[in-house]
Chains A and B, each alone.
Chain A
Amino acid sequence: MGLNELWFVLLVVIVAGYLILDGFDMGVGILHLFAARSDTERRIMLNSIGPVWDGNEVWLVLGGGVLFAAFPLAYASLFSGFYLAFMLVLLVMILRTVAIEFRSKRPGAAWRKTWDFVFSICSLGLAFLLGVAFGDILTGVPIDADGNMQVTLIELLNPFALLVGATAVVMFALHGGIYALMKTDGDLHDRIHRWMPRLMVAFFVLNTLVVLAIVASRPLISERYLSHIWLVIFPAAALLALILSWVMLRRGRELSAFVASGMMIALLLISGGIGMFPNLLVSTTDPAYNLTVYNAASEPNTLTVMLIVALIGMPIVLLYTAGVYYFFAGKTVLDPDSY
């Protein structure tokens, strides 16, 4: 495996890290309005992610930075091509951040209800937009020889992308719900628990539709799997992880269920990555314009330096992140420092 392939793998790993970690923040946010009723319950939901959400969001910053550094041409084409979509992503991310921070700073019921709504709707919006972007990347984009594309917001919101967006919302709601089960007890816990089977079924149906749509109408991806049939173990393992999550949940082993749903998210992303490789952005104008891990990448010099940086930095990051999670493990308890 050369440097370019290695950085593609690392990019997938980092994005998977983001989707697993900030994914449960989004999921808790999506369920916030529906599952938590009283002010105390909502504070528990908010504080279940309180000490960790900011660290989780760093994975997105890192993903952006790594894409910029390792594959600058893909970064430039994607971000400028999806201009308005990314502006919406920024809007919901900013509002979500301040909703978490501002909500409990004032006692008024109207103040808190407003921010509860903003937090929930922005979490949902972020999950949806990420799904839509993922769907459009799988479909391909109309980039020209210079890597630029003229595409409207409406074109980005095509039926397939909307389907992937909806799937992402349900997937993160499920993942965040399992996380919330670990952090809550009593009525709130039971209420979230009742949502789980519905979300599982909904996710299974939606995800199956996405897979069928890919098989039917995304030849580049289906050909990859047909020509290397053993690669099917990755999507199969994702399905297995979903079933495992279900079984663990039924046995009340919430941590195991959470790990399984995290694995499933990673495996789905890997499956998508396998279908795309070596393309980062597929051109619907002319396959010669595809941006790949070879023609969109930085020079070996940069990729080597970055690899050294990652090898030094990431083990330390993983170590203290694990430490922080370990410290805050267990049911969420409110105290005067809480949100």
Chain B
Amino acid sequence: MDPELLSRIQFALTASFHFIYPPLSMGLGTMLVILGIIYLRTKDPKWRQLSFFWVKVYALIFAVGVATGIVQEFEFGTNWANYSRFVGNVFGSLLAAEGIFAFFLEGGFLGLMLFGGNRLGPRMWFIATFLVVFGAHFSALWIVMANSWMQTPAGYAIQSTPEPVRAVMTNFWEVMFTPSFLPRIGHVFMASGTAGAALMLSVSAWYLLKKKHVELAKANLKVALPFFFIFAAINLFVAGPIQAIEVTNYQPLKLASMEGLWETQSCAPLMIVGWVNEAEQTTTGISVPCLLSILAYQNPQAVVQGLDAFDPDLYPPINLVFQVYHLMFNLAVVFPIIGALGILFYFWKRKVFHSRFVLWLFVITIFMAEVAVISGWWTAEIGRQPWVVYNVLQTADAVSPSITGEMVAASLFMFIALYSLLFILFLFLLNAKIQKGPEPLEEVETAAVSSLPNTFREVFRRRNAPRAG
């Protein structure tokens, strides 16, 4: 067995499974912050009740995200030792900075967020929640920064003595802000927001369909729907196109693969659906003429480089890239339409709360959002192949020389078994939580809200007094 192939499969599996959770921690976290702000403004207890419910859901998502995240940091060393040797100077420092600046913030305040509802006043609880969510976004920022360096490396020089050959940092600023970083982080944040809002939208719609917690669900849906629409629309009309332009400029071969564009041409078409035949070098399907030229260069006559402009030895798996990209793209088009439809039905005599068709559409948004997020990530990562650091180091040269096929087969088997178990348990517990729904405040509150410490001064002074309970 080939350790390189198995390592690729293992990394793809573990990274994809991990990537189910962080977008939800960020997106659902953002929605929790919004719920918190509304509660602080209105003091209406229903928002507090919803916060107690969603914090529990958040805890579950966060737990699996943390458990699977640590695997990623280990795998660079275990499976990709030559990659680690090559990039340690540059890539390692971004990971370390992520730990110091962001992950500690997240981990440190998580306890206050999860256990703070009955120990902190609403304002302090909100601050703890905000810091965790800020930490989650800040953490993603460093990780996407590190990944962007792999896509569009900058601020480094290749040094070959002493052995081994490695990339050394010449300018930290350029390492941080590579050309792809800002477009990509914007896209990731908007996609996460869409996924988080979709989760709230989906669960609220489910309650309305099942006639459970109806008043709470209506209130929650009224908050989730506009944000779902806003995040999805910004992604489709602003963040997505900006990233597409960046890919056009810095990774033209990836763009040609995403669109299955074999010939360099002006007035290049944008494919809607299709199939790439890599053997015959053809792409068949439905397309819109000239739209790719317009999106890439804002000019219908602009020339877009096709696959024929590049060395065939350096092609990624083109049909796979094409399919995952179009899956993401088409879903990204559907999201704002669902959002707009919902908003329309809201203003049309509040029909949104009763239309079973629209509610069912809302229910499935979370599944579609997860598929979109992961297929987007696949587009970025598979589209980068055969390079691990774009145009600098090939994935085949990055693998650990000391590992054998048997070793990786064993660990791959372990991850398949473990992650299947985790996923089943996660869905089981999430489903149980959602079916049970928000509990009445009397059951989750142990003290009157007004008695809880609500300023920093009170938080630390109260420690000296014996706590009731």
Asked whether B66 lies within 8 Å of A57 as measured between CB atoms, the reply is: yes
B115 with A338: CB separation less than 8 A: yes
Residue numbers in B under 8 Å from A197 (CB-CB): none
Of the candidate stretches B201-209, B312-320, B397-405, the one touching chain A is B397-405
Residue of B nearest to A333 (CB): B469
Determine if B400 and A83 form an interchain contact, defined as CB atoms under 8 angstroms apart: yes
Task: Specify which chain B residues have a CB less than 8 angstroms from the CB of A149 in the assembled complex.
Answer: 402
Q: Is A328 an interface residue (CB 8 A)?
A: yes
In the assembled complex, B346 has its CB within 8 A of some CB on chain A: no
Max chain B C-beta neighbours (<10 A), residue from A79, A80, A305, A306: A80
Residue B93 at the A interface, CB < 8 A? Answer: yes
Q: Do A94 and B422 touch (CB < 8 A)?
A: yes
Complex CA gap A148/B401 in Å reads 7
Query: Which A residues, 284 to 300, have Cβ-Cβ distances below 8 Å to chain B?
Result: 295, 298-299
B67 to A320, Cβ gap below 8 A?
no
- Write out, one digit per residue, whether chain A residues 112-151 have a CB within 8 A of any chain B CB (1) or not (0): 0000000000000000000000000000000000111110
Q: In this complex, what residue of B is CB-closest to A84?
A: B407
* Interface residue total, chain B, C-beta cutoff 8 A: 81
Q: Is the CB of A64 within 8 A of B81?
A: no
> How near does chain B come to A4, taking the closest CB pair, in angstroms?
13
Chain B residues near A91 (CB-CB < 8 A)? 414, 418
By the criterion CB–CB under 8 Å, are A327 and B104 in contact?
A: no
Digit string of B77-107 for contact with A (CB within 8 Å is 1, else 0)?
A: 1110110110111111101111111011111
- Closest Cβ of chain B: how far from A337's Cβ, in Å? 5
Bound CA span A330–B468, Å: 12
A300 nearest CB across to chain B (Å): 10
Instruction: Give bound CA distance, A216 to B235, whole Å.
Output: 65
Smallest CB gap from A81: residue in B: B402
Listed stretches A48-56, A173-181, A249-257, A262-270; interface member: A48-56
User: Which A residues, 44 to 95, have Cβ-Cβ distances below 8 Å to chain B?
Assistant: 50-52, 54-58, 60-62, 64-66, 68-73, 75-81, 83-84, 86-87, 89-91, 93-95
| CB-defined contacts of A324 to chain B, threshold 8 Å | 108-109, 111-112
Interface presence of B410 (CB below 8 A): yes
> Which residues of A have CB within 8 Å of B85?
72-73, 76, 147
Q: Which residue of A lies closest to B14 (CB)?
A: A90
* In the complex, B44 has a CB within 8 A of chain A: no
Q: How far is the CB of B90 from chain A (nearest CB, A)?
A: 7
B432/A94 in contact, CB under 8 A: no
Q: Is the CB of A321 within 8 A of B168?
A: no
Q: A98-B422, A321-B104 are in contact. Are A68 and B118 (CB under 8 A)?
A: no
Select the residue from A72, A78, A95 with max chain B CB neighbours within 10 A: A72
Bound complex: CA A330 to CA B463 (Å): 9
Which of chain A's residues have a CB closer than 8 A to the CB of B429? 102, 105-106
Q: Complex: how many Å from CA A95 to CA B70?
A: 12
What residues of chain A lie closer than 8 Å to B112, measured between beta carbons? Answer: 51, 324, 327
B46-60 interface mask toward A, CB cutoff 8 Å, 1 = contact, 0 = none?
Answer: 000000000000011
A336 surroundings in chain B (CB, below 8 A): 118, 443-446
| A333-B467 CB under 8 A given contacts A62-B99, A309-B93 | yes
**In the complex with contacts A54-B66, A299-B89, A321-B108, A80-B459 CB distance below 8 A:** no
The smallest C-beta distance from A176 to any residue of chain B, in angstroms, reads: 18
In the complex, A317 has a CB within 8 A of chain B: yes
Cα-based distance from A80 to B85 in the complex (angstroms): 11
Among A52, A54, A69, A338, contact of B92 (Cβ-Cβ < 8 Å):
A69
Point out the residue from B76, B101, B117 that lies within 8 Å of A68, measured CB to CB. B76
Interface contact A79-B109, CB-CB below 8 Å? no
Name the A residues within 8 Å of B357 (CB-CB).
none
Residues of A within 8 A of B115 (CB): 50-51, 328, 335, 337-338
Complex formed: what's the CA distance from A54 to B135 in Å? 13
Report the separation of the CA atoms of residues A329 and B87 in the bound assembly, to the nearest whole angstrom: 42
Q: Does A302 lie at the interface of the complex (its beta carbon under 8 Å from any beta carbon of B)?
A: yes
B210 to chain A, nearest CB (A): 22
Contact between B93 and A83, CB atoms less than 8 A apart: no
How long is the Cα–Cα vector from A93 to B414 in the complex, in angstroms?
Answer: 13
For residue B64, CB closer than 8 A to chain A, the reply is: yes
A69:B111 contact, CB within 8 angstroms: no
Residues on A with C-beta less than 8 A from B407 are: 83-84
B118 A305 Cβ-Cβ under 8 A:
no
> Contact: A302 with B89, CB < 8 Å?
yes
Q: Which of A80, A321, A328 contacts B81 (CB 8 A)?
A: A80
Partner of B118, one of A54, A60, A314, A335: A335
Minimum C-beta distance from B460 to chain A (A): 7
Q: A159 to B96, alpha carbons, bound, how many Å?
A: 34
Cβ–Cβ < 8 Å partners of B106 in chain A: 58
Tell me whether A58 and B104 are in contact (CB under 8 A): yes
Contacts A58-B103, A313-B100; A68 near B88 (Cβ below 8 A): yes
The residue on A at minimum CB distance from B3 is A83
Kindly list chain B residues whose C-beta atoms are within 8 Å of the C-beta of A60.
Answer: 70
User: If the complex has contacts A76-B82, A298-B89, A327-B463, are A54 and B172 also in contact, measured as CB distance less than 8 A?
Assistant: no
Q: Is the CB of A65 within 8 A of B422?
A: no
Whether B92 lies near A298 (C-beta < 8 A) is: yes
Q: Which of A80, A306, A321, A328 contacts B93 (CB 8 A)?
A: A306
Residue of B nearest to A68 (CB): B92
Task: Considering the complex, give the chain A residue whose CB is closest to the CB of B166.
Answer: A72
**Per-residue 0/1 for A29-44: is the Cβ within 8 Å of any B Cβ (1 yes, 0 no)?**
0000000000000000
CA distance A47 to B116 in the complex (A): 13
Contact present for B411 and A84 (CB under 8 Å): yes
Complex contacts, A328 vs chain B, CB 8 Å: 111, 115
Chain A residue nearest to B117 (CB atoms) is: A337
Q: Does B285 contact A (CB under 8 A)?
A: no
**Cβ contacts under 8 Å, A68 to chain B:** 73, 76-77, 84, 88, 91-92, 95-96
B467 x A330 contact (CB < 8 A): yes
- Chain B residues near A314 (CB-CB < 8 A): 100
A149–chain B nearest beta-carbon distance, Å = 6
B100 and A51: CB pair below 8 A? no
A326 within 8 A of B: yes
| Proximity bits, B27-63, A CB within 8 Å = 1, else 0 | 0000000000000000000000000000000011001
Tell me whether A146 and B164 are in contact in the complex, defined as CB-CB below 8 angstroms, given that A57-B70, A77-B81, A102-B425 are known contacts.
yes
For B410, the chain A residues whose CB sits under 8 A away are 84, 87
The contact of B99 among A54, A65, A95, by CB within 8 Å, is A65
* A310 beta carbon closer than 8 Å to chain B: yes
9 A-B pairs with the lowest CB-CB distances in the bound complex, closest first = A72-B88, A79-B77, A51-B111, A69-B92, A313-B100, A101-B63, A65-B96, A68-B92, A80-B400
A-B contact pairs, 28 of them (CB 8 A): A51-B115, A58-B107, A61-B70, A64-B95, A65-B99, A68-B91, A68-B95, A73-B88, A73-B164, A75-B77, A75-B84, A76-B85, A79-B81, A83-B402, A86-B78, A97-B63, A97-B66, A98-B67, A100-B63, A102-B425, A102-B429, A148-B401, A298-B88, A299-B89, A301-B170, A321-B104, A335-B115, A337-B118
Having A69-B92, A75-B88, one finds 12 other A-B pairs with CB under 8 Å, namely A69-B95, A72-B88, A73-B85, A79-B76, A79-B78, A91-B414, A298-B89, A302-B89, A302-B92, A313-B104, A335-B469, A338-B115
